[in-house]
Amino acid sequence: MGGADVVTLNQTRQGALEYRQMAKQGLNPRFNASLEIPTFEDVAKQVHIDRMPTWKNAKHGQQWINTLRDYAFPKIGRIPIDSVDQAEVMMCLGPIWTEKHETAKRLAQRIKTVLDVAKAKGMRSGENPVTAIKDAQALPKVKTKVKHHKAMRWLDVPAFYADLKGRNAMSAQALRFTCLTGSRTGEVLGMRWEEVDLEKRLWLCPEERMKGGEEHRVPLTDEMLAIIEPLRVMQSEYVFEGQKRNKPLSNMSLLMLLRRVDVKGVTVQGFTSTFRDWAGEVVGTPREVAEMSQCDKVRSDVERAYAGSDLLDSRRALMERWPAYATGKSADEVGIGARSGS
């Protein structure tokens, strides 16, 4: 390995561990080390580079490699890619499987991808150890509870919206727009003027910001346009500009606004559920219209293909009624008749 003036004690221990793992598999460490076989880390980094054009955005691509960097590279990064087996994968997954289950599941999938690519390139043979571990149920079952974003009751929206309307802060305008469109926070805060067609009264949210990965058309109502049109004078790249020029507002700004207005137990993301509850419970909106309003992929691919439309006209009618309700107009004006008391 080299003298003490060249190799640190930690490097020596790591190298010794790798050699013991090779010996356990019947490999000669000295011979194996002389072969030009890339390490797991080398292959993983190359897979990351090769897939950069496919990432939904740069952040997702960085998260992919960061998971391997934090939980796999320290354990198996220097091991030759053809020597990574079930024991090595278990070394990575075991310590975090129950404590950080979601992270562990993502890690398992990413390790599997790296090993699959290595096999496809002739660097490995045999079954993927991640698949073998799953089939053998070598790791304990972990029950996870689905976490829902806490949502405001639709009955409380008019009073809340009136409070927001009396505030001039950019965060208040962004939160008003979020409430009215039923959109997710990232979709709204990343909104650029180039996505807005004022003449057609449409906002075209690109696929890279949509949770479902599909481009989404949002019909703009009078109330929505009244929020964003005055912001054009700022001549910013983003509709809702933050403190830095040509940079969007941060998620934290909306969260802090909720705290200032003393709204407890509610998240910004929860307003998508508020809108959905109102559309279903009060207006009796057809399921496919409510789903498409938020570009949810609840329907099957067959249903989506059969529909062949994003139901823009139906959604525009719904989106006209929601702002009317949020701004405190009467039931007749909103168009829900006796159902408003349900």
How does pLDDT run across 299-330, given as a tens digit for each residue? 445 444 444 456 777 778 778 888 888 887 75
36-135 and 154-341 share one CATH topology? no
The structure tokens 């508020």 sit at 274
Residue 289 has pLDDT above 90, yes or no: no
Q: Does domain 154-341 have CATH number 1.10.443?
A: yes
**Number of Cβ atoms within 10 Å of the Cβ of 104:** 21
Average pLDDT over residues 267-272: 75
Residue 27 has pLDDT above 60, yes or no: yes
- Higher confidence at residue 179 or residue 108? 108
pLDDT of residue 317: 79
Residue 113 has pLDDT above 90, yes or no: yes
Q: What is the mean pLDDT of the chain?
A: 80
Backbone angles phi, psi at 248, to 5 degrees: -75, 165
d(CA 208, CA 177): 20
d(CA 47, CA 160): 48
The CATH H-level superfamily of 36-135 is Tyrosine recombinase, N-terminal domain (1.10.150.130)
Average pLDDT over residues 61-69: 91
> Which residue, among 271, 274, 272, 279, has the nearest Cα to 339 in the 3D structure?
279
Average pLDDT over residues 59-79: 91
The structure tokens 């139901």 sit at 311
Range picked from 15-24, 59-68, 311-320 for highest mean pLDDT: 59-68
List the chain domain ranges.
36-135, 154-341
CB contact at 8 A, 83 and 22: yes
Give 144-176 pLDDT, tens digit per residue: 655 555 777 888 888 888 888 889 899 999 999
In angstroms, the Cα distances linking 58 to 187, 195, 208 are 16, 20, 10
Range picked from 2-11, 13-22, 28-37 for highest mean pLDDT: 13-22
